[in-house]
Structure 1
Amino acid sequence: MDSLEWKNKGKLVSIYNQRVFTIDVGNKEKETLVILHGYPTSSYDYYKVLPELAKKYRVIIHDHLGFGFSDKPIEYSYSLIEQADVALELWKQLGLKKVTLLAHDYGTSVATEIIARHNKQQINLQISSLILCNGSMHIELSKLRIIQKLLRNKITRKWVAKLTNYPIYRKNIRNVYFDKNKVTNNELQEMWYQLEHNNGKKVIHYLSNYINERYTFWHRWIGALKETQIPTKIIWAKNDPVAIDLIAGLLTIEIQNNELFWIDKCGHFPMLEKPNEWVKLVLN
């Protein structure tokens, strides 16, 4: 699927004076699944699995600000706290009262901020279940790529963002797959197109500050997972070179009501690398 076809599935919704690209598919009478995507990609990560998900759920997935087809303002914090604000306001505008929350990678930290507020009854949203996939919430265990380290550094990040090009991007995305042949050149080109869309390269170094926030808010967000009573399904690609399997193992100890499901011989993007296996675990 190309980017134009994906874009035509959604619409731009105004949230706090910013346009947020949102896909809302499936029967509105069914249970609602909301999805928080990862970094540095977009909602496009779910193009292979969306048709199956929509058979069971009303599926709502948006591009975080700074990603995909959403707005990418220059003067903006891109804090995970604000990304949570945007997600919650979007869901409020769509009239959601009860959801299953699924998050991957960067999205898992947005999710833990939402869970922290949910624990304190600060939001008017019932979360019936939580699904976590390959996210480095335990940032101290994460095996960050060199480019991630450079982009989070306040001295180097602006220059690295300027120098980043498609060959560098393509190499870094391929390297987080277990089977490098599972990602096509067309997919990589579409991912890059969406990253560049609307001057995206000018904000990518701001987006990378999420790594620093994972250290700053570690106690708040890991504490939220320890406190929550929400039934949680942990679906983890076992061969992820970034969000390693030790993180999933630790989450099973910390989250009170959880089940862990492994996807073997699979890297960081299980919904793209092993979509059939991944979607069966989500829908089970």
Structure 2
Amino acid sequence: MADLTPRVAAWQRSGTFEQVGRHRIFVREREGSPDLPPLLLLHGYPSSSYDWRDAFHSIDGHRLLTFDFLGFGLSDKPRDVQYSLRIQADIAEELAQRYAGEPVVMVSHDMGSSVATELLARDIDGTLSFTLKSALLFNASLVREQASLLLGQKLLLSRLGPLVTRATSEFYFRRSFGSIFSAAHPLTAEEEADQWSLLSHNDGHRMLDKLIYYNHERVTPPTSTRWHKAIRTWTGALELGWAGLDPICTEAVLQAVLNLRPNTPVTRLPGLGHYPQIEDPESVYELIQRHASQS
């Protein structure tokens, strides 16, 4: 197990661990004005809530809540769990209940945006245990059939997944993770070290094939049908933020989402890759602040 970098260790000290069901979940939150809606920030695969670290000095006024999904970052990483999006949505629900019925603004990226679609579906069903005010979804393979998966992702989803996982090294991670950043905003050595320390914490890099399981759910009914319907029919304010140079969640994915939900407001982030909040945090947090103030 790799040691946490000093930056990640400081991030860990700034948060807490909460018991959710049988597992410890790393949570980072900030107090703010009770007159403003709280923000729930959901991260992507294979990273963690650390992706949202700049929110805590870039977003004014709002209460903030983010956490590491089960199996990710600093949270518990059990080997005997089927990592369904439903499990991650359960955790998000339990943690968001601290706002006691206040309308919550949900902001999500990548896998977190897929978890968000399950939360939208629960809201439609009338079973969601917190009040959802609006949703801002960043790049995600919301229509997975249109996504351009990396070779490594395809292998992890195949029968070779366990072998690929066992062979995962920091060198391999650096090449793969770096390939989804834009040329103008490349993955830095510091960021790579931080992300690897979080991924490899408690040997999380040895379960990548388990963590990517949710991709099967996104193309298999009834879950795929449920989540597409949620995008199409949720009656709340839904907005998209889309990085234009994302090699995975391409323009084809965006157009497929807009086909499900025409006239959805889209803020394009040209020149950015798959992790816009890391590449250009100023632009991303200006968008989040605006969305939260208008919702």
Scaled to the shorter chain, the TM-score interval is: over 0.9
Q: Deviations over 1:140-180 (max 9, x none)?
A: 00000010011111x21111111000011011111101126
CA distance in structure 1 between the aligned counterparts of 2:190 and 2:30, rounded to whole angstroms: 25
CA distance in structure 2 between the aligned counterparts of 1:183 and 1:96, rounded to whole angstroms: 39
1:182 to partner: Cα distance = 3.4
AA matched with 1:61: T
- 1:48 match: 54
- 1:39 match: 45
User: What is the aligned counterpart of 1:244 among 242, 247, 250?
Assistant: 250
1:208 to partner: Cα distance = 1.1
Give the conservation status (yes or no) of the 8 Å contact 2:33–2:61: no
1:11 to partner: Cα distance = 0.5
- Residues 257 and 16 of structure 1, relative CA distance in 2, 3 Å threshold: farther
Q: Deviations over 1:63-94 (max 9, x none)?
A: 00000000001111111111111111122256
1:192 to partner: Cα distance = 0.5
CA distance in structure 1 between the aligned counterparts of 2:174 and 2:101, rounded to whole angstroms: 37
Aligned residues between the structures: 282
AA matched with 2:63: R
- 2:20 match: 15
Give the conservation status (yes or no) of the 8 Å contact 1:271–1:278: yes
- Residues 152 and 235 of structure 1, relative CA distance in 2, 3 Å threshold: same
Gaps of 5+ in 2: 1-5, 291-295
Q: Is 1:132 aligned to residue 102 of structure 2?
A: no
Q: Secondary structure, in 3 states, of the residue corresponding to 2:28?
A: strand
Runs of 4+ deviating beyond 6 Å: none
User: What is the aligned counterpart of 2:206 among 198, 202, 205?
Assistant: 202
CA distance in structure 2 between the aligned counterparts of 1:51 and 1:26, rounded to whole angstroms: 12
1:202 to partner: Cα distance = 3.0
Q: Secondary structure, in 3 states, of the residue corresponding to 1:22?
A: strand
- 2:171 match: 167
- Residues 203 and 119 of structure 1, relative CA distance in 2, 3 Å threshold: same
Q: Is 1:267 aligned to residue 273 of structure 2?
A: yes
Give the conservation status (yes or no) of the 8 Å contact 1:228–1:255: no
CA distance in structure 2 between the aligned counterparts of 1:187 and 1:66, rounded to whole angstroms: 20
- Map 1:90-101 to 2 at 5 A: 90-93=95-98, 95=100, 97-101=102-106
AA matched with 1:150: L
1:218 to partner: Cα distance = 1.5
AA matched with 1:231: A
Q: Please, which moves more after superposition, 13-22 or 251-260? A: 251-260
Q: Is 1:179 aligned to residue 183 of structure 2?
A: yes
Give the conservation status (yes or no) of the 8 Å contact 1:56–1:283: no
CA distance in structure 1 between the aligned counterparts of 2:55 and 2:183, rounded to whole angstroms: 19
Q: Deviations over 1:95-122 (max 9, x none)?
A: 4532001110011111101110101111
AA matched with 1:226: R
- 2:293 match: none
CA distance in structure 2 between the aligned counterparts of 1:267 and 1:198, rounded to whole angstroms: 28
- 1:189 match: 193
Gaps of 5+ in 1: none
CA distance in structure 2 between the aligned counterparts of 1:19 and 1:95, rounded to whole angstroms: 22
Q: Is 1:82 aligned to residue 113 of structure 2?
A: no
Q: Deviations over 1:15-67 (max 9, x none)?
A: 001000001113152310001100001011112333112x1311100000000
1:257 to partner: Cα distance = 6.5
**How well do the aligned residues superpose, as a CA RMSD in angstroms?**
1.6
Q: Is 1:224 aligned to residue 221 of structure 2?
A: no
CA distance in structure 2 between the aligned counterparts of 1:107 and 1:23, rounded to whole angstroms: 16
Give the conservation status (yes or no) of the 8 Å contact 2:100–2:130: no
CA distance in structure 1 between the aligned counterparts of 2:224 and 2:182, rounded to whole angstroms: 28
Give the conservation status (yes or no) of the 8 Å contact 2:181–2:275: yes
Q: Please, which moves more after superposition, 113-122 or 21-30? A: 21-30
CA distance in structure 1 between the aligned counterparts of 2:184 and 2:192, rounded to whole angstroms: 12
Give the conservation status (yes or no) of the 8 Å contact 1:97–1:124: no
CA distance in structure 1 between the aligned counterparts of 2:7 and 2:52, rounded to whole angstroms: 13
CA distance in structure 2 between the aligned counterparts of 1:76 and 1:63, rounded to whole angstroms: 16
CA distance in structure 2 between the aligned counterparts of 1:43 and 1:219, rounded to whole angstroms: 28
Q: Is 1:156 aligned to residue 150 of structure 2?
A: no
